[in-house]
Amino acid sequence: MSSPYDKALKLLKIRPHHSEELTKKLLMRGFSREQIQETIQKLQEENLLDNRQFAQMYLDELLRTKTFGFYGLKAKLMQRGIPGHEAEDLLKENLSAEEETNIAQKLINRERDYDKIKFAQKLQRKGFRSDVIRKVLEKKQADNRKLLA
């Protein structure tokens, strides 16, 4: 059987991980918490595991490729083992209300049939904050009024 360090290195070669995510995977493979803690510490000392860097990199990727709001992004970060408070701090630093509004605006612009209720529900499912949803829907209604005038 390989050591937890060897297994962790194999996992890190596939893709970067957060220490919590790596801990879960190593626990599933039968290693003790003590072995895992030593392994995580060693990887951090060797700069092979950096939680902050991983979180930032993963958030950048999500912002570049996905259309989620603040809470949707927070949930995605937490799925990768990033604690809620760290995810929130990272989002506050990297996602302004204006940027979140722009993401929601792109989503609404893709819609052929605009149904206010359905669209509000879609944005809510994707984790957008209520003030962003309200702002985007108000802008869409104003644009529709201009078109009809």
At 48, list the tokens: 């092979």
pLDDT in the model for residue 140? 84
pLDDT in the model for residue 1? 62
The CA angle 7-81-54, to the nearest 5 degrees, is 75
The answer for 90, left when phi > 0, alpha when psi is -120 to 50, beta otherwise, is alpha
Where do the H-state alpha helices sit in 95-149? 97-110, 116-125, 130-148
Q: Are 79 and 73 in contact (CB under 8 A)?
A: no
pLDDT in the model for residue 91? 96
State the pTM of this model. 0.85
pLDDT in the model for residue 63? 94
Closest by CA position to 50, among listed 92, 22, 17, 94: 17
pLDDT in the model for residue 87? 95
Residue 78, SS3 per DSSP: helix
Q: Where do the domains of the chain lie? A: 1-49, 97-148
pLDDT in the model for residue 109? 83
Closest by CA position to 114, among listed 123, 103, 125: 123
Q: Are 73 and 93 in contact (CB under 8 A)?
A: no
pLDDT in the model for residue 125? 96
pLDDT in the model for residue 123? 95
**Tokens 């509004």, residue located:** 101
What CATH number belongs to 1-49?
1.10.10.10
pLDDT in the model for residue 65? 92
Low-confidence ranges of the chain (pLDDT < 50): none
